[in-house]
Each structure stands twice: as structure tokens, then as C-alpha cells.
Structure 1
Amino acid sequence: MSGTLQRRLVSKNGHNNVKIDNVEGMVKLYLHDIWTTVVDIKWRYKLTLFVCTFLGTWFIFGVLFYLIAMSNGDLGQTPESNHTPCVMNVGTLTGAYLFSLESQTTIGYGFRHISEECPLAIFTLVVQLVFTGLAEIFVTAAFLAKLARPKKRAETVIFSQSAVICWHRGQTCLMVRVANMRKSLLIQCQVSGKLLAPYVTQEGEKILLHQEPVDFRLDSSQECPFLLLPLTFYHVLDENSPLASLTEENLNSRDFELVVTLNATMESTASTCQSRTSYLPQEFRWGYDFKPLVFSTPGGRYITDFDHFDEVEKRNEPLLLQNVEMIKLQMEEEYRKE
């Protein structure tokens, strides 16, 4: 794979790189789930929708009031006449628009108002207040939902730019580093992975992205109670691992993508969030380990220096020699026990 561009399913910042194309009735599908569509759209479109909702309803009902005034013969009447208009002091479309705006925003200057002798105008006002009230609730709720989306919280969780493979706890391990950039805790954190690689079945079927689970652990469990300090999660490259055949020699020639996902619960809101990243073979560092980034101070506090977050250091001995030496020590220990 060296010298060629390898595509990603998931970008480094967690966004998916899948383009959906040639879907019949896409607009209809989006309109059926209008709530999710409005929440997912970009902020510039959401602000446009917010402004158009108010301007549109003001203008539409202003036109209706103007038509009611026209049908009732209110236009062109002199103040001295005995004719009672449907809407007082509305003689132009601009006046009708201002009356619609004042009614919907409950400004109510008192200069323009509905008379008691025009039921149609009263009914139109009631419909306007009910309809625009529902529209305002929908648009406002969509704003709050987008602001409170766990996706924004997930953006404050970062992964190391590279993954390292080294000797850890007597085994060859693949390790990634994860950190929470906020002081508010993430609880019940769990890191999992998916290995995406081309695969050919026994029947000869070619699968472009075959998925295999990659389990990550922290010390002796797959979950950590909370993410306070930057933590290093590791995956053991044993015979059960989908990366068991990975070596330093064939690393750069392999074709795969490792997608790493962090699922956690926000302590402040109790809602769940998910953060993702991915690693290509050229982003693996064989025989390296992460540099320490947590230090203690004389005052009894801990400091996390994120200048060292992505820094790695070479192990003193090659990984292969470490593996052989550890195996020898284990065999000697078993021999003594016998």
C-alpha cells in the first residue's frame, strides 16, 4: 500500500466518509422524518429556517388580513364614514403586515385591532396564534436539541494520532491513548474497535470491507469507571486477535483500517455520547510506547501536559527480542515448578 492513497471509512476526527448516492425518493424520506432532518442540518440552514419561519408567517397572515379587509370593503374608507372595518386602521398591505407581526409577537400597540363585527378576522387571528405557536415550539426545540447533542460533547474527547505496538504486561499489545478535554467526567467508558479489511469468502465472494471486532482493555477490564486522566487502552495481539498475523515487516504492506470507538455517559446530563477515530497501517508505530504526560507537583496536584499526548518513544530493545526473552523466562519458571 505504500505510495498509494488508502481511503478511510472514518476520518481522524470521527466523521464518516461514506457518500450516499442514487437513493430513490431521498427527499421524501427526509421529509417523513422532518424532526431529525431539521436537527441534523447545518447551522446556516437552521438560522435561515428560523428567520423564514417568522417572516413567512407574518407575511402570509398579513396578506390574509389584507384580503379580509378588501372583501369587507375596508380599503379607501374615510374616517368619518359609518362603516366598521374588520381590522381597524388597516388600509394597506404594509398595515396588514404590521398587524400580523404585532399579533404574533403579542406587542399589541392598540392602534390596529380587530372589531367585534368580523368573525372571519377573529377566526384568522386564532388560527395564526395556534399555528405560529406550534411552529415556534418546533423551531426552538430544534435549536435546543442541536445545542444539547452529545455529538458536541464527543468532540472534546481526543485520540492519539498514532497507535503503538509494544510489549505490555508480558504480551504483544496494540495501544491507543484517549483523553477527556473537559473537567466534567465521562463515566462508564468503554473502548471498542472494528477492523475493516478486504476479504474473500470460501465461495469466492469479495467483500470490500469485512468487519471483525477488536476488543480493547484497560488493565483487567473492558470498562473504566470514569475518564479523568488520559488513559491508554490496549488490545492483545494473541491467536484470537484479527491482527494476529501482523508483524513489523508486513505492517506497511497490509490493507486495513482500524476504527476505534469510545462510548461513555456524560455525568452532567446522564446522556450517552460516542467519539470515533480510525488508524491506517502507516499510523501504527511498531516497537514504540507513549511518553508519560501526567506529572505530580510538590503541592500535591497532578498536571497533564498535552504537549506530550501524541509523542512516542522507542523501546530500548526490539519487540521481538523482548518477546523471546519473556517466553524464555516463562519456560524457566514452569521448569522450576515441575
Structure 2
Amino acid sequence: MFETLNKRIQDCLAERRSRRTRLVTKDGRCNIEYGNIKYSKHFAFLADFWTTFVEIRWRFVLFFFIASFTLSWFIFGLLWYWIARSNGDLTWQNPASDHTPCVDNVVGLTTAFLYSLETQTTIGYGGRALTPLCPGAVALLIIQSLLGAIINCFMCGVILSKISLPKKRAKTISFSEMAVICPKNGTLCLLIRVANLRKTLMIGSQIYGKLLRTTNTPDGETIIMDQVNIDFNVDAGKDNLFFVCPLTLYHIIDKSSPFFEMAVDTLHKQEFELVVFLDGTAESTSSACQVRTSFIPQEIMWGYNFLPIISRSKEGKYRVDFSNFSKVVPVATAHCAYCFHNIKGHHHLFREGHDNQAFEVIDIGDASNVTKM
């Protein structure tokens, strides 16, 4: 009993370790760190300060937004205080009754700060006003007005750019949690389902994949992240997809496919990561974006197929049932790709170890009204 328990614990830890070490997470973030970067290279981020500000986290954007305005108000407040002090306008300097100040009602540091804030934000309450007797005060007013306009434009541009980032559009593109391997159109294929949750289209959409794995060359060199191209297709082609409804992508497992040497009992023992990319242009904003996700061997189900989710009502209206988006059903599938292509009729219905516990068949319409797309 203890050996069985220990084996289960080891398998659980191995599975958690494989999931944690994936390069691309399910939501498309890249799990990679950069080390030993030369200190001089950090100045490149300052040279490209616009991209740096757009890419930093929201908490830092809000911090810089508050700090830039508050600091500029305080610095110019000190300058206004210095001008008032140079002209003898402050209360503790006991100005004469007929003394004409540079700025009316600026008699201390607090009033100088308030005048700086009112000047830069163009509030103008009317209690404090500049007089034409101090040329330096006039020049400072011009400088602060110009600098305030620059800060306003820059910070508003950063916030608008972050709000409209194309990667936000990628949040409404959803991939299935699992990939499946089953026969399709007379060939053995790896299938993935993808859906656009918005009614606006992704123009010029293209689907492709990369298989990441560690390989050893004949010269004894170990390549940690060897990339192999994986071609995906849909029934209507692979370029310029009409992405108006969920699509089922498929990769043909033939002799040129890296999955050809795998079998149902060896698939989950492999060490690789399948990264799937979808590139397109958002119809509403004309901004290009990329959606990506990844699948590890434990997320590929051999001998299963996706449930249909598109139907047509009697009124002729198409309906997409997303409750079946990631649900699968077992189908007769060959034990391996070699058996499928070389041994006719070598199929089996594989169930053990891959049963989907959340599987539930949902009736989405009359059988006569189901439309395959």
C-alpha cells in the first residue's frame, strides 16, 4: 500500500513540476527569465522610454501619474516661493503697506504651492494673480504652463495606449483546455478548438504551432529549446480564416510529423510543449494582435474527439453552445500513427486513464438540424 501511495505522490509531483516548467502558460504568458544582463544595457530601456512606460504594470503607471504632477507642483511651488522671497513679498519679511508683490496673496510656502497647482491645472480661483512687475515671474509662468501641457499629453497618451493594447483583445479568444488525437477525413490528426467570443471578426487570421523539446545532435550537443514547426489547418484552409464561429484546428500526423513516433501508451511519457499561435487584426480597432497557448503531453487526449457545438434552429439561425466547447467523447482510434497508416482496421476505443470526469452530453438541437462546420 505504501509503495502505491509513494508512486502516486511521485507522479503527482512530476505532473506539477512539468506544468510549472512550461514555457508558455495557458493564458499566453511566457515563463522566462533573463539573467546576467550588462548594466549598460539597462539604459536601452530608458532610451525607449515610451515602450517602457506602456509595458510596465498599472500600479507603476498610477504611481508615476501621481508623482509627476505632485512633484512638478511642489518644485514650481518652491520656485514661486523663491521669487516671492526675492521680492520681499513674504509675511515674515514685513513688506511695506504700499509694497507691490510679484504674485498677489503669495505670502508663504503653502500659498506658493497652491498658486503653482492653480497655474499648472489652469484652475484660477482668482485669489492669487500674477502682476507684471517681475519679468522672472512671467517667464516662470510660461515655462510651467508648457511643462504642464507636456506632462498632461504624455500621461494621457500612456494611459490610453495601455487601455487599447492589442493583448486585451486576445482575452476574448479562447482555446480548448485539452487537445485530442483521433481520425479525421481518413487521416490521424491532432485537434484543437478555438473560439472568438466577440461578434467582431479577426481579419486575416493565421494559425500555426511550434513544438518545443530538448534534443541531442549527432555531435553530442544538447539543444534545450529545439523548435519544430507544426502546421495547422481547418477545412477551409489555413490562411485568412473566416473566424465568425468556433473552429476546430487539426494537424495531420504523417511521417513528417513529430507525433508520428508516439503512441497512446508513450505520449504522456514524452517531454515537449506544443505552443499554438493565432495572429490576426481586430476588425474594430485595426490593431494586430497575437493569441497563444500551450499544451503539454498530459493535456493531449488520445482516442477522443470534441463534441459538436454548432447547430441551426428551425428558423435558420445558427447557434453556438459553449457548454460543450471543451468536452470530448471517446472514438475508435489506432494505437499509434504507424498502426493507423500501415495496419488496416487496427483501431480501438481507448478509455482507461483519459476519461473526462466533467463529460456530459448536452442536446443542442434536433439531429436533423445539426450543421457540421
- Verify same fold: TM over 0.5: yes
Taking the TM superposition and a 5 Å limit, the aligned residue runs for 1:48-67 are 48-67=63-82
Task: State the secondary structure of the residue aligned to 1:274.
Answer: strand
Distance 1:218 1:55 in 2: 55
The corresponding residue for 2:58 is: 43
Q: Report the residue type matching 2:79 in the other structure.
A: L
Aligned with residue 141 of structure 2, among 103, 107, 125: 125
The corresponding residue for 2:289 is: 273
The corresponding residue for 2:86 is: 71
CA deviation after TM superposition for structure 1 residue 322, in Å: 6.4
Q: Give the root-mean-square deviation of aligned CA atoms.
A: 2.0
Aligned with residue 243 of structure 1, among 249, 259, 264: 259
CA contact (8 A) 2:121 2:148 kept: no
Aligned with residue 169 of structure 2, among 136, 153, 165: 153
Q: Higher relative contact order at CA 8 Å, sep ≥6: structure 1 or structure 2?
A: 1
CA contact (8 A) 1:187 1:266 kept: yes
CA deviation profile, 1:2-53 (whole Å, cap 9, x unmatched): 5522120000110011022232226423222211111111112211211112
How has the CA–CA distance of structure 1 residues 314 and 159 changed in structure 2, closer, same or farther, with 3 Å as cutoff?
A: same
Taking the TM superposition and a 5 Å limit, the aligned residue runs for 1:72-151 are 72-76=87-91, 81-151=97-167
Distance 1:220 1:205 in 2: 41
CA deviation profile, 1:229-282 (whole Å, cap 9, x unmatched): 100011111112222212212101111000001101111121111111000001
In structure 2, list runs of 5 or more residues that go unmatched.
1-9, 347-373
Aligned with residue 21 of structure 1, among 35, 40, 44: 35
Distance 2:315 2:117 in 1: 62
Establish whether residue 285 from structure 1 lines up as the match of residue 301 from structure 2: yes
Distance 2:260 2:240 in 1: 25
Distance 2:181 2:37 in 1: 42
Q: Report the residue type matching 1:15 in the other structure.
A: R
CA deviation after TM superposition for structure 1 residue 316, in Å: 4.0
CA contact (8 A) 2:183 2:333 kept: no
Establish whether residue 31 from structure 1 lines up as the match of residue 56 from structure 2: no
CA deviation after TM superposition for structure 1 residue 78, in Å: 6.1
Distance 1:317 1:287 in 2: 5
Aligned with residue 10 of structure 1, among 24, 36, 60: 24
Q: Report the residue type matching 2:120 in the other structure.
A: Q
CA contact (8 A) 1:167 1:319 kept: no
Aligned with residue 232 of structure 2, among 213, 216, 229: 216
CA deviation after TM superposition for structure 1 residue 226, in Å: 2.6
In structure 1, list runs of 5 or more residues that go unmatched.
328-338
Task: State the secondary structure of the residue aligned to 1:106.
Answer: coil
CA deviation after TM superposition for structure 1 residue 80, in Å: 6.0
Using the size of structure 2 for normalisation, the TM-score is 0.83
Distance 2:208 2:237 in 1: 12
Task: State the secondary structure of the residue aligned to 2:167.
Answer: helix
CA deviation profile, 1:298-336 (whole Å, cap 9, x unmatched): 232122111111101101455668654479xxxxxxxxx
CA contact (8 A) 1:2 1:252 kept: no
Distance 2:236 2:245 in 1: 18
Query: Kindly, what percent of the aligned residue pairs are identical?
Result: 43
Task: State the secondary structure of the residue aligned to 1:23.
Answer: coil
Q: Report the residue type matching 1:254 in the other structure.
A: Q
CA contact (8 A) 1:218 1:224 kept: no
CA deviation profile, 1:129-158 (whole Å, cap 9, x unmatched): 111211111111000100111000001101
CA contact (8 A) 1:260 1:276 kept: yes
Distance 1:314 1:168 in 2: 14
Q: Report the residue type matching 1:272 in the other structure.
A: A
Distance 1:46 1:31 in 2: 15
CA deviation profile, 1:93-118 (whole Å, cap 9, x unmatched): 11111111111111112221111111
Please list every run of at least 4 consecutive aligned residues from structure 1 whose deviation after the TM superposition is greater than 3 angstroms: 77-80, 316-327
CA contact (8 A) 2:310 2:318 kept: yes
Task: State the secondary structure of the residue aligned to 1:102.
Answer: helix
Distance 2:226 2:150 in 1: 47
Distance 1:13 1:307 in 2: 20
Distance 2:219 2:147 in 1: 60
